[in-house]
Amino acid sequence: MRADDLARIRRALERAGEVARRFAPGDVAVRYKAGDSPVTDADVAVDETLRRELPAADEGWLSEETVDDRARLDRRRVWVVDPIDGTREFLEGVPEWCVSIGLVEDGVAVAGGIFAPARGEILLGGVDDGVTLNGERVAASARRRLAGALVLVSRWAARKRSFADAPYRVRAVGPIAYALGLVASGRADAMWSRGTKREWDVAAGVALIAAGGGHASTWDGTPIRFNGWPPAVAGIVVCGAALERDVRRHLATT
């Protein structure tokens, strides 16, 4: 049991949500990083809040909005966070944006929390404790067949590709952390992406999926490791554990 860790995550999520709500999507300063990625004053303020709330003196820190200190590589426990995953959605008033907190021990994501303030959803869990959504116990999907399943895709993929012939249903979701939370809580059955992901985008979700009894791996099927250099994951495949074989069979033909 890791009650202290989960309590710390919940408290940090709640305070981060309070900070984020002070900023209005249409009235917040925004600038752009490399790759045309937006960052707002809300991202920075939430980042500062999380850093005050989470790491102890002997714990490492990795955040999208903090200059990376490689001293984290020597830490056994590391907090991996995205202050606002879905900054574009935040700016557009799309309610899927969320605060994402993952706790990594010895390279493994063991606890996490995702808070979508605009939806009023707090997902919290640890690998030995299960997952809760707003305090109610949830779990990953028990579906065994991909036919008829609900698969999440990025907003970009939904615009660029046709899924008319897919054997599954499709829902477009912007922030990947929110998408992983949907899979962890059984509200979606699967999600996959071949592209490289940053650790802060997926650490919380991977922990929650493991806690919910689901499957999470890199694109080629290897376990996902965190606190690396560079902090990146070589693609991702997530689903209910019983669905993994059918998902892999499908991916092998696409």
Q: Which CATH architecture has domain 3-137?
A: 2-Layer Sandwich (3.30)
- How far does CA 126 lie from the centroid of its chain? 14
Q: Does 156 have pLDDT greater than 90? A: no
Q: Which residues does 252 contact at the CB level (< 8 Å), separation at least 6?
A: none
Q: Does 34 have pLDDT greater than 80? A: no
Identify residue 250 by its one-letter amino acid code. H
State the pLDDT at residue 2: 83
Helix (H) or strand (E) holding 64: none
Count Cβ atoms below 10 Å from residue 106 Cβ, excluding itself: 12
Confidence of residue 112 (pLDDT cuts 50, 70, 90): very high
Q: Name which of 14, 19, 22 is nearest 54 in CA terms.
A: 14
> Among residues of the chain, what percentage have pLDDT more than 90?
89
Q: Does 1 have pLDDT greater than 60? A: no
All CATH 3.30.540.10 domain ranges of the chain, comma separated, are 3-137
Q: What is the pLDDT of residues 198-248, one digit of tens each?
A: 999 999 999 999 999 999 999 999 999 999 999 999 999 999 999 999 999
State the pLDDT at residue 111: 98
Dist. CA 87–CA 43, nearest whole Å: 8
Dist. CA 87–CA 29, nearest whole Å: 12
What is the residue-averaged pLDDT of the chain? 95
Annotation: CATH topology of 150-251:
D-Maltodextrin-Binding Protein; domain 2 (3.40.190)
All CATH 3.40.190.80 domain ranges of the chain, comma separated, are 150-251
Q: Does 161 have pLDDT greater than 90? A: no
Instruction: Read off the pTM.
Output: 0.96
Q: How many CA atoms lie within 13 A of 10 on its CB side?
A: 16
Dist. CA 146–CA 133, nearest whole Å: 25
Phi (first) and psi of residue 200, to 5 degrees = -65, -20
Per the CB < 8 A criterion, the answer to whether 50 and 101 are in contact is yes
